[in-house]
């Protein structure tokens, strides 16, 4: 210590015993004072917890609800502003009239934090002046730890009503709780070791929801392309390399996952592949991802669907108008030509009784009905004009109505399958380039993804630095009204659920 050195030098300079004794006393006093002073500094220092600041994990009641009670619930309870009720965790996680207020583990993507951090954010009346930096920090830590509630649980961690959304223009998978219509997870593929060029093409979910699978490709040739298996907590538990993985189909009765080939259109990979690469459908054993290749004569067999009876899986070539019929029991592959106009089917959907299948034709801009009650003798029935670029199709309940997202028409066409005609269409200013469509498990709600490619619809939560969001329209099936518009990463595309 500095005082020590000074005292020693002084003592050798004046070696008289009397002075030495006095000096020693002074030195001792200085030493004690010095160390006390230094210790005091430490106690008051930045790292040292004080009573006011919580240490360890932030808990909901003690640190978050009390904050909301003091600063927010004057406006956010009862007839709550924007429908966001902050009077309890149960209310908070139901979000606002527009969607989720926060995304567990992602403070950076949470509306609540982004609003709190911007001073002049119109239209939130308070802006940053509502919360101190310390309070914002505490909110962020709590969200980063999963936005856990009173019972220490992550919002909707045990919910069975999940829908998975892929994004054509971002390395993201968005997960929605479909009964509340809120975003509950936003998975960044880069967090799983993929590059920013990775894209999830499609998702399929186990019937009991315990595991789900994603086909992950890249916009650049020679980067990792896989089918990945995730558990309920969204941990990546296994993956297997598959080039250009396309659609995924969980077989209704067998331990099998079918993987088709994605059509290579707008990237550099098409120049690097030989035609032979693209002539197979891959079959994985779901339990261990053991891979079998099923040769297909024609390139780019993309759509996939199965009869619920499990005796046939259907695909179709996006290069030559051929239907592909796979028999799971024998692994036989047979082909049937498509009749009449050139269709090039991109999506299939099968009725719950296994009698009918609609397909959306990329070339014909039509939806076509097949009678598949005898899978050995596929019968092509009728085609209906959908408008430019029909995409994902889904059957409604009772095998009656069929919903088709039509990208170029900015509409969902609703087919009455019994009458064989277009019944009506659903349009909305936010339905900009709709591509994906799915139903909630109780069939009450339709979820339609809109790419919003031209940024025609400005997001409600869009900040100036954000790209135009991909949209998920939440539509009440009975009234055909758009209830909510969820905002997520750009290019929201396929929808998958159980
Ligand atoms: C003086 C009233 C008032 C107070 C106090 C207030 N808010 Fe708000 N808040 C509003 C209003 C009004 C809106 C809707 C603004 C709009 O139309 O976008 C809103 C919107 C929000 C939204 C966005 C909801 C959505 O989905 O668009 C969040 C998140 C939010 N408030 C959080 C908070 C938090 C956290 C606090 C406390 C720190 C708070 N607010 C305090 C009035 C208030």
Share of the chain above pLDDT 90, in %: 70
Tokens of 326: 């796979």
3-state secondary structure 364-406: CCEEEEEECCCCCCCEEEEEEECCCCEEEEEECHHHCEEEEEE
Q: pLDDT by residue (tens digit) across 88-103? A: 999 999 999 999 999 9
CB of 249 closer than 6 angstroms to any ligand 1 atom: no
Q: What is the mean pLDDT of residues 157-171?
A: 94
Mutation to probe ligand 1, out of 68, 76, 130 (largest number of atoms < 8 A from CB) = 76
Residue 447's alpha-carbon distances to 161, 385, 387, 411, in angstroms, are 13, 23, 20, 13
48-95, pLDDT tens digit by residue? 333 345 556 678 988 999 999 998 999 999 999 999 999 999 999 999
Cβ–ligand 1 distance for 123 under 6 Å, the answer yes
- Report d(CA 450, CA 384) in Å as an integer: 22
pLDDT, tens digit (0-9, with 9 covering 90-100), for 324-355 = 999 999 989 999 999 999 999 999 999 999 99
Q: Mean pLDDT over all residues of the chain?
A: 86
pLDDT per residue over 11-34, tens digit each?
Answer: 333 334 444 444 444 444 444 444
CATH superfamily membership of 392-498: TolB, C-terminal domain (2.120.10.30)
pLDDT at position 118 is 76
Q: Per-residue pLDDT averaged across 373-392, rounded?
A: 95
Q: Looking at residue 278, what is its pLDDT?
A: 78
pLDDT recorded at residue 460: 81
Q: Ligand 1 centre from 83 Cα, in Å?
A: 9
User: pLDDT per residue over 347-381, tens digit each?
Assistant: 999 999 999 999 999 999 999 999 999 998 999 99
Q: Which long-range contacts link 148-153 to residues 24+ away (Cβ below 8 Å)?
A: 148/59, 148/60, 149/60, 149/89, 149/90, 149/93, 150/60, 150/61, 150/89
How far, in Å, from the CA of 120 to the mean position of ligand 1?
13
CA dihedral sign of residues 280, 281, 283, 289: positive
Written as six digits, the tokens of 414 are 């609703």
Distance between Cα 134 and ligand 1 center (Å): 19
pLDDT at 333: 92
- What pLDDT digit, counting tens, does each position of 171-216 carry? 999 999 999 999 999 999 999 999 999 999 999 999 999 999 999 9
- Whose Cα sits closest to atom 39 in ligand 1? 72
Comparing 421 with 127, which gets the higher pLDDT? 421
pLDDT for residue 498: 78
Domain coordinates in residue numbering, the chain: 2-33, 60-144, 392-498
Quick: pLDDT tens for 293-316.
Answer: 998 888 889 999 999 999 999 999
Q: Convert the pLDDT of each residue in 243-284 to its tens digit.
A: 889 999 999 999 999 999 887 654 545 555 555 567 889 999
Model pLDDT, residue 463: 78
With CA atoms as reference, report the closest residue to 463 among 124, 82, 115, 104. Answer: 115
- The CA-atom distances, in angstroms, between 8 and each of 28, 275, 403 are 12, 87, 91
Band (220; pLDDT cuts 50, 70, 90): confident
Ligand 1 atom showing the smallest separation from residue 84 Cα: 24
Q: How far is the CA of 93 from the centre of ligand 1 (A)?
A: 15
For a substitution probing ligand 1, which of 71, 77, 84 has the most ligand atoms within 8 Å of its CB?
A: 84
Ligand 1 within 6 A of CB of 74: yes
Token digits of residue 238: 């296994």
Helices 2-13 + 17-44 axis angle, to 10: 170
* Confidence bin at 35 (pLDDT 50/70/90): very low
At 128 the pLDDT is 55
What integer pLDDT is reported at residue 123 of this predicted model? Answer: 55
- pLDDT (average), residues 419-447: 96
């Amino acid at each position: 210590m500095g005082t020590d050195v000074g005292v020693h030098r002084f003592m050798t300079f004046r070696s008289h015993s009397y002075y030495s004794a006095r000096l020693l006393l002074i030195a001792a006093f200085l030493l004690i004072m010095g160390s006390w002073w230094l210790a005091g500094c430490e106690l008051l220092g930045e790292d040292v917890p004080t009573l006011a600041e919580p240490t360890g994990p932030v808990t909901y009641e003690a640190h978050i609800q009390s904050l909301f009670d003091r600063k927010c619930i004057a406006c956010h309870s009862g007839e709550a502003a924007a429908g966001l009720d902050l009077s309890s965790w149960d209310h908070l996680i139901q979000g606002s009239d527009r969607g989720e207020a926060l995304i567990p583990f992602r403070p950076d993507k949470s509306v609540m934090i982004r609003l709190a951090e911007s001073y002049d954010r119109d239209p939130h009346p308070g802006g940053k002046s509502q919360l101190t930096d310390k309070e914002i920090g505490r909110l962020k830590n709590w969200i980063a730890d999963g936005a856990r509630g009173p019972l220490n649980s992550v919002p909707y961690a045990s919910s069975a009503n999940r829908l998975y959304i892929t994004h054509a223009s971002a390395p993201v998978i968005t997960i929605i709780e479909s009964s509340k219509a809120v975003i509950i997870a936003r998975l960044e593929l880069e967090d799983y070791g993929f590059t920013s060029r990775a894209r999830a093409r499609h998702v399929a979910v186990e019937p009991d929801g315990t595991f789900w699978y994603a086909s992950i490709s890249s916009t650049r040739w020679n980067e990792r392309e896989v089918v990945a298996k995730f558990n309920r907590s969204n941990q990546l538990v296994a993956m297997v390399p598959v080039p250009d993985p396309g659609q995924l189909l969980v077989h209704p009765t067998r331990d099998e996952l079918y993987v088709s080939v994605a059509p290579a259109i707008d990237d550099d990979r098409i120049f690097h592949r030989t035609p032979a690469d693209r002539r197979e459908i891959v079959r994985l054993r779901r339990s261990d991802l053991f891979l079998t290749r099923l040769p297909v004569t024609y390139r780019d067999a993309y759509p996939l669907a199965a009869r619920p009876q499990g005796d046939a899986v259907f695909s179709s070539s996006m290069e030559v108008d051929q239907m592909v019929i796979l028999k799971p029991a024998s692994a036989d592959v047979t082909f049937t030509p498509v009749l009449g106009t050139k269709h090039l089917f991109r999506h299939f959907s099968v009725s719950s009784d296994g009698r009918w299948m609609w397909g959306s034709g990329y070339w014909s801009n039509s939806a076509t009905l097949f009678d598949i009650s005898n899978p050995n003798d596929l019968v092509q029935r009728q085609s209906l004009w959908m408008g430019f670029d029909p995409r994902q199709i889904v059957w409604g309940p009772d095998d009656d109505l069929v919903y088709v997202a039509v990208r170029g028409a900015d509409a969902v066409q609703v087919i009455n399958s019994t009458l064989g005609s277009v019944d009506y269409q659903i349009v909305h200013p936010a339905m900009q380039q709709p591509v994906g469509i799915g139903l909630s498990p109780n069939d009450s709600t339709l979820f339609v993804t809109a790419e919003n490619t031209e940024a025609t619809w400005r997001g409600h939560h869009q900040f100036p630095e954000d790209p135009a969001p991909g949209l998920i329209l939440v539509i009440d099936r009975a009234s055909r009204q758009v209830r909510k518009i969820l905002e997520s990463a750009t290019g929201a595309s396929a929808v998958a659920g159980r």
